[in-house]
Structure 1
């Protein structure tokens, strides 16, 4: 288990936060674009497959442009970690199917709720090698405030 890092320490924190903010901005854009493509193609699964194909090509390009030393480590990595892609596949397939019927905002509300809950559990126990960040009363209260805020944005 990794020790908790103070997010106010270090010069990279602003960079990390900015990257994740951009990733977060991209999630509803992905949902709306893929849902729309699913309607045009009359197939949410086909839209998801195209999204994964493009994502695979971009990830492969990034891999080819970077260090290839990971190749010798593949055999020693825990095999269950290679199944992380099932979660992104489920997300993309489900958001592509659900968003046109439920609304992008409503779908993302429940995605964010699920992310808050699972992130708190993963951090609390340091699952999958994550930094341990105990679920204190203060952190739990912060999560509740965030969940309430997300809920409020859907009610407005």
Structure 2
């Protein structure tokens, strides 16, 4: 296992959890859609600076990729919008566990069929148990 990539993924998870809490409160103050927009705009500016100073690719190649690959930005916007909407209503922890459950379910399908050119990894009983345990944890978080 590549521990550096795993550690970076954990840091990404910490970022998502922190972002959810920040954006949830932000959206309550300025509006859900407005909060998601500002969050994306700041992220876009940061990535623009990174692209200018650190980028090694060719941005013009964006016109030659299959158009369905551009939906990543749309999905990111949907994610941020839903986080800004959900966090104030159900809390950061419940929202994040819900997100993780959704990620495990769809990533299991993507891996199982090797979609989007990824490595094909069968959905086995261990992955099924992991998804089930996440579902149980989500149930327990809602249980009063």
Common topology (TM > 0.5): yes
Deviates more, 1:107-116 or 1:146-155: 146-155
Structure 2 counterparts to residues 1-150 of structure 1, below 5 A: 8=1, 13-41=2-30, 43-149=31-137
Greater relative contact order, per chain length (Cα 8 Å cut-off, separation 6+): 1
Contact 1:109–1:151 (8 Å) recurs in 2:
no
Listed as ranges, the gaps of 5+ residues in structure 1 are: 1-7
What are the superposed Cα offsets for residues 70-124 of structure 1, whole Å, 9 maximum, x if unpaired? 2353333111101111111111111111211122222222111111101101111
Q: Which has the higher helix share?
A: 2
Query: CA shift at 1:50, angstroms?
Result: 1.0
The change in CA–CA distance for 1:125 and 1:37 in structure 2 (over 3 A counts) is same
Whole-Å separation in 1 of the counterparts to 2:20 and 2:57: 34
TM-score (normalizing by structure 2) = 0.86
- TM-score when scaled to structure 1? 0.80
**CA distance in 2 between partners of 1:28 and 1:19 (Å):** 14
Task: Decide whether the 8 Å contact of 2:23 with 2:35 is kept in 1.
Answer: yes
Counterpart for residue 4 of structure 1: none
Aligned length: 144
Taking structure 1 as reference, are residues 150 and 24 closer, same or farther at Cα in structure 2, changes over 3 Å only? farther
Aligned-residue CA RMSD (Å): 2.1
Q: 1:151 Cα deviation (Å)?
A: 4.9
Distance 1:107-1:146 versus aligned 2 partners, 3 A rule: closer
